[in-house]
Amino acid sequence: MHLHWSFVWASLLAASALEAQARTWDEAYALATDTVSQMTLDEKLGIAIGTGQLNSNRRCVGDTTAVARLGIPSICFQDGPAGLRLVKNVTGFPAGLNVAATFSRRLMRARGKAFGEEWRGKGAHVFLGPSLDIMRNPKAGRAWEAFGPDPYLTGEAGYETVMGVQSVGVQACAKHLIANNQEHWRYGYTSNVDDRTLQELYYYPFIRTIEAGVTSVMCAYNRFNGTSSCHNANLIGPNGLLQKSGFKGYVVSDWGATHDSAAENANNGLDMEQPGDYIVIGGGVYSSNNLKNAVNNGSVPQARINEMITRILAPWYQLGQDKDYPPTNFDAQKRDGSGSKNLRVNVRTNEHTALAREIASASAVLLKNSRSTTTGSPSGITTRGLPVAKDRIKTIAVVGQDAKLPNLNCNELNECNDGTMSVGWGSGSNSLEFLIPPIDAITSFTGSSATITSSLSNDLDEGAKAAKGKDVAYVFVNAMSGELGSYTFVVGNQGDRNDLNLWWKGGSLVERVAAVCNNTIVIVHSVGPVVMSWSAHPNITGIIYAGTPGEQTGPSIVDVIYGNYNPAGKLPFSIADSEDAYGTEIVYNSLGFPEINYTEKLLLDYRYMDNKNIKPRFEFGFGLSYTTFAYSGLSVQQSGSSYAVSFTVANTGAFAGAEKPQLYLAYPAAAGEPKKVLRGFEEVILQPGASSTVTLTLNERDMSVWDVPSQKYVRSSGTFNVLVGASSLDIRLQSSITV
């Protein structure tokens, strides 16, 4: 048993030939200011306004107009947060929720860097990600694109993604600002959020990406506290959240998210409108000479249009995109790769494929393992449960349509769920061109060592028939969600999931198989929590939550099942038995665009469950391993305004593995915080018998709350409890700090 992490370290340490010679922001702004001073108004407008949704010359999902005489190309914006969409010869990476489940900054950054390399190789200037939309409700349609319900974990994943993407000279675009947490009514509902909740929960991840130097931010479709996000001065204006946080880049609209007048949008902080025209749901505020007329009649000052273009061009200079950047070599309007504009450049590499496979394996969360072994070796030979001993298993059942190859041509948004679910649907989807389904990977790996019987549908009778009496039965089940899009339904679900059940009667399929096979192993591909009322069944010897693992779904799950990769994933959310345990709901039915009041405030997921004394089936941060880990020696030492939290983690089992210790902080009661909040995590890779000292830092902001009157973070006074453990409920070490 081994873990495939060594090549990533080498990749991160190696000097990449693609790494850009970045300039300072001051240098970039000086160059941008000089360029803008040479531009005509029409040239400026061509950069502030996308070229149009139906423009036959459009190459990307969003483009600007080139200014050839000044050496400025059409800036290419391309989806999405899980890999290049609408483009051939690219890698289908695991989605955001999976990278969050790795609890590994190493993999978060490596994935971002790989994104950057593929975007750059295709000549795309802007990566439309990361998505920072907090999973307010577990059924939220696009939550899988982002990193879960916890702001700290989301912030760290966002930070590392931006650092990775921009390290090779590609712009990142953090989205969607802000409180964009459901798909139903998304084009006009208003999220009513109090200031403290906004700062500590929904805006916090954006702060982390700004600290990473993110070059652009996308404003959302929804209204925020009654005002459309894309002309909300409190968010994007001269004295809005972004500017107060030191944001240096530009604000771009979500596609068709603009409303009202050109002057209102421009003067309140919107720098660029995409796609530049009206697309049924909105948009076109700057086009049709609206912005031009507003500048000419003085309702948008000349200084403001100059500022808009300067803010757009500064990141282009800052990341060195003016120097030897590849021209755009694809046509996103022709998915089949035809046409003279598609040069069929292949940006897939062996390293990217291996990274996609490692992240898929590293994000697999082992939820249950009733392992039985025989004697004769330090760990014994597995006869039931995980890892599966290939030489001991002679008859295998593979059950469920989630094990087979899906429709690879299910329109441009991947709006199907008729095979293995590797990613959700919508603009955050990715390429399925090189997808390897579980049935193919299992068949290839086992070879002639076992007889495989398959039932690749969710027919309950056929599934039970295939599994009866087999040495092991692998049951593959899923639940999918996605973007609302043009009010599209997928198997009766309109973006947001209808419920927390597995699709296609997956729960019943699991129960029927477990009734006839005493070694049933369940693999769940899902966009978030699902009801697992069947998890305690004695014949279910293993449960793996595999999430949305991308194109290497088959090989990665084989690596985990057969012990080539020791699972180390941790849940980036809690799995409870009902939606009520989460304390929020999706608003489905309304007489018009609803007002959604965020009355739960800071209490999401494990925070809410802690507060209400609800014990989930599997808690936030939970995940088993094929080995065991011990924690000891907690020490908390002050250093200036920060505290160093040190402890030792030891591998006390028989296999090499990685533990993901988590640091939670319990504030003084008067602070009004949840009972505990995540404030640190680490990846600790250990051989059997080895140990390592881990040091995590609590900085002043980690110990502060947002003070509304002073509009800043203020550290609370009193006693803080420092909690270190293997999950939010499995606390191994405790100490305290008195301030």
**62, 50 contact by CB (below 8 A):** yes
CA dihedral 146, 149, 151, 152 (to 10 degrees): -90
What does the DSSP assignment read for 503-560?
GGGHHHHHHHHHTT-SSEEEEEEESS----TTTT-TTEEEEEE--S--TTHHHHHHHH
Is 254 a catalytic site residue?
Answer: yes
What does the DSSP assignment read for 62-81?
EE---BGGGTB-PPEEE--B
Cα angle for residues 351, 354, 358 (degrees, 5° grid): 135
| Exposure string over 608-624, b if 16+ CB within 10 A, otherwise e | bbbeeebebbbbbbbbb
302-318 and 41-48 helices, crossing angle to 10°: 60
Q: How far apart are CA 528 and CA 96, in angstroms?
A: 11
Between the alpha carbon of residue 635 and those of residues 605, 640, 689, 731, the distances in Å are: 29, 16, 22, 15
The residue annotated as part of the active site, out of 63, 150, 254, 331, is 254
DSSP label at 490?
Answer: B
Q: What share of the chain is helix, strand, coil (3-state, %, to 5)?
A: 30, 20, 50
Cα angle for residues 426, 572, 82 (degrees, 5° grid): 30
Q: How far apart are CA 415 and CA 104, in angstroms?
A: 30
Between the alpha carbon of residue 363 and those of residues 135, 403, 424, 568, 604, the distances in Å are: 18, 18, 16, 7, 22
Cross-strand pairs, 525: 478
Q: How far apart are CA 160 and CA 61, in angstroms?
A: 25
Catalytic residue positions?
Answer: 254
